Chains A and B, each alone.
Chain A
Amino acid sequence: MKRALTAALLIIVALPMLYAVAQLPPQGSPTSPAYTHVSARYLEAGPEEAGAENVVTAVILNYRGFDTDGEVTVIFTSLAAVLAVLLGVRTGEKPLAGQPVSSVEASVVVSFVVRLLAPAIALFGIYVILHGHVSPGGGFQGGAILASLLIIITTILERAQAEALVPLRIRRWLQIAAPLAFFTVGVAGLVVFGNYLQFPRTHDLAWLTVTWLTIIEIGIGVGGAAILATIFWTMGGDS
């Protein structure tokens, strides 16, 4: 009965929604406002005035950089949320040194392969971060790659050893690298060009745009990696 009612309700809600969505400007039509208004300018003038070779990067870091500033804050908020809810659960003690994360030892093969791959993964992560201003992607993806490196290292080392790779004192700074990078570039833009997060518009200052974009990409990458790894370590703490 309850199921039938739910299904009926869903259909009643879905029908007018589908009817309305069907009347939207058609997807892919060149006359749709989504292509003719704001995005048209991004595509035409983006590479020139925004200074990033990739239009996606130009939009997320330059035209709408403040949104991305907000997004990295959302990621930091999730870290603060996890720590605020999970720290101090285990009778208030720090995890014991030498306490293994998993009760099963990693096999020699796994351990060897992880060691073998680690430098390559690190290199790839750094490459993705630094390539951010010419290809879609950058800090967020590269940060996730670096974080996954820390996570697989945790599976072969004892957790305390893995965590020691990013000591707590530095880790707290690394976790806020993304908002700090945005703040640095934002204030630099304010001082030099008069607006928070303003990048140079002229072609001869393109090197400055690239430098600033790279600072932000590195901040996002390092910060994202530190945050993801910390969340993993904190949530894995109970096992």
Chain B
Amino acid sequence: MSASTMIVAVIIVPLLGAVLTPVVGGRSGKAAGPWAFGTMLLTSAIGVYLMAHVARVGPFSAYLGGWEPPYGIELRFDEFSASISVICLLGTLAILFSFRYAEKELPAERLRYYYTLLLLNLTGMIGFVVTGDLFNLFVFMEILSLSSYALVAVSGEHTAEMAAFKYLIMGAVSSLLVLFGIGLLYALTGSLNMADISTRLTGAAEAPAMLAFAVLAVGFVVKAAVFPLHIWLPDAHAIAPSPVSAILSGLVVKMGLLGLVRIYQIYYGARVLDLSTFNLMLVWLGAISIVMGAFFAIFQEDIKMMLAYSTISNVGYIVMGLGLASQYSVIGATVHVFNHAIIKATLFLGAGALIYRTGYRNLTDLRGVGRSMPLTTAAISIGAVSIVGIPPTAGFLCKWYIALGAIEANQPFFGFALVFGALFIFVYYIRMVNAFYFQQPVHPEILELKEAPPSMLVPVLLLAALCLIMGILGRLPLSFIEPAVARLLGTLGMGG
């Protein structure tokens, strides 16, 4: 099988797995979980092959139906597509974690459709990051969005349904904006292939090109939950089942950011607009997101609510890095997409394990749980240290790079905002760790509990270990993404 066939396979395998899940779920739906797990293992294997290939030969394409672009749909695997590594990793672990969790939290009839939606969600993300066609990107974004809304509501509690509805309304508006933007670009260029649009956009009328950029950017920024457009996120991410929270916070919001990267690829290449004003706006919004997310998180009692607000802060870091548009900051931002996914999944799955065993989700109720569930709380603590960005964990290098980028871009003030945000974040994670280990339990029976079952504990520990490993091997993803960023900014004449 050639490499280009494998790009198609990395979408088709989970897609086929997803549609077959209700059928192979069996009479009771019990087989759906293992089937989904197997599907993701196979997908991950293909993903590893693709990553190895892109590292060896650089970006490569597949032409669907054999139609060369721009006439047919091109799938293009570049360094940014390598985010399928975290999609596959978190997807596999979240499904494993769901075996026991979903059995307890969801009505039995829904199980098979829960796994179907999880696989569809992952398929949507994989398609989103590997496609080279703008309309195809939209199609996968719809699969991804629709399944996300349903996954938030799947527990059937009234609050979950309301949260999902709010998410649906915001998400639908953002999808509409993206579609409108694609339509404008088509009217300007007559093409849907991203690379082709980029070449043909040069010399296009400035006002419509600007409008297309604006609606696409706003659409993706809503999906990414950047500050004034974040209001849907805390409820949706906190109320969803924990494995879903891990996927939503770790991966789904990042798709908005990767969408933004794709738009940058088009516009930086076309040089049709001066994006520095927009970039400055993005940097400011990023800075505000960091501070506001951290500020709101401090006052949360609910552990998952706290984590959800922390996602807004972290998206802020990434957006700020992209907006600073310097070599260091963009590399830092891109790698933070990977690292934050791992860290946030550690935290959400860890929190899920605590909720599964104790039945509580407030910090006060969870006091003392560190004594009865030492492994889970240790994993959460590692995640907390990483997210604050203390070396040598995964969170450190990215933030360091973004701060360096701020200096490189002659905007040291934003480096200061970044450190200030990290201090805020430090405060609320200290609160969490303090409750786990050092405070007297409110519910004495919490001390009698055992660790979560292995199918839940293993993913949490594995992810916590990765938080540490990625800190030590942090140079690896940095050097991997470097050529892609150099190409992106090189077209701007300010890379290298």
Give the residue of A78, A81, A82, A92 whose beta carbon is less than 8 angstroms from that of B107.
Answer: A92
For A22-51 the 0/1 string (1 means CB < 8 A from B) is 011100000011111111011000000000
* Contacting pair A84 B113 (CB below 8 A): yes
* Contacting pair B22 A175 (CB below 8 A): yes
In Å, the complex CA distance between A188 and B48 comes to 26
A80-B150, A196-B65 known; A24-B208 Cβ under 8 A? yes
In chain B, positions 401-415 with a C-beta closer than 8 Å to chain A are none
Give the residue of B15, B207, B211 whose beta carbon is less than 8 angstroms from that of A73.
Answer: B15
Interface: A7 (CB within 8 A): no
Give the residue of B64, B109, B139 whose beta carbon is less than 8 angstroms from that of A196.
Answer: B64
Interface: B493 (CB within 8 A): no
Q: In the assembled complex, which residues on chain A have CB atoms less than 8 Å from the CB atom of B147?
A: 77, 80-81
A24-B188, A66-B65, A87-B113 known; A81-B16 Cβ under 8 A? no
A78-B146, A84-B150, A84-B154 known; A63-B65 Cβ under 8 A? yes
Interface: A70 (CB within 8 A): yes
* Contacting pair A25 B187 (CB below 8 A): yes
**Interface majority SS (helix, strand, loop, mixed), chain B:** helix
A80-B147, A195-B66 known; A20-B210 Cβ under 8 A? yes
Interface: A105 (CB within 8 A): no
Query: Which residue of chain B is the closest to A42 with respect to CB atoms?
Result: B71
User: Closest CB of chain B to A17's CB: distance in Å?
Assistant: 6
Give the residue of A21, A39, A199 whose beta carbon is less than 8 angstroms from that of B190.
Answer: A39
In chain B, positions 1-25 with a C-beta closer than 8 Å to chain A are 5, 8, 12, 15-16, 18-20, 22-23
* Contacting pair A199 B65 (CB below 8 A): yes
* Contacting pair B8 A196 (CB below 8 A): yes
* Contacting pair A34 B146 (CB below 8 A): no
A66-B136, A183-B16 known; A34-B117 Cβ under 8 A? no
In chain A, positions 107-152 with a C-beta closer than 8 Å to chain B are none
Q: In the assembled complex, which residues on chain B have CB atoms less than 8 Å from the CB atom of A190?
A: 5, 8
User: Closest CB of chain B to A158's CB: distance in Å?
Assistant: 22
* Contacting pair B135 A67 (CB below 8 A): yes
In Å, the complex CA distance between A198 and B5 comes to 12
Interface: B30 (CB within 8 A): no
In Å, the complex CA distance between A16 and B22 comes to 48
Q: In the assembled complex, which residues on chain B have CB atoms less than 8 Å from the CB atom of A98?
A: none
In chain B, positions 191-213 with a C-beta closer than 8 Å to chain A are 191-192, 200, 205, 207-208, 210-211
Interface: B451 (CB within 8 A): no
User: Closest CB of chain A to B111's CB: distance in Å?
Assistant: 9
* Contacting pair A21 B208 (CB below 8 A): yes
Chain A residues with a Cβ under 8 A of chain B: 16-17, 19-21, 23-25, 32-39, 41-42, 62-67, 70-71, 73-74, 76-78, 80-85, 87-89, 92, 172-173, 175-176, 179-180, 183, 186, 189-190, 193-199
- Additional pairs, 18, CB under 8 Å, beyond known A67-B139, A82-B150: A24-B187, A24-B205, A33-B187, A37-B189, A63-B72, A70-B136, A74-B139, A77-B117, A80-B116, A80-B120, A85-B161, A88-B109, A189-B65, A194-B66, A195-B63, A196-B5, A196-B12, A196-B64
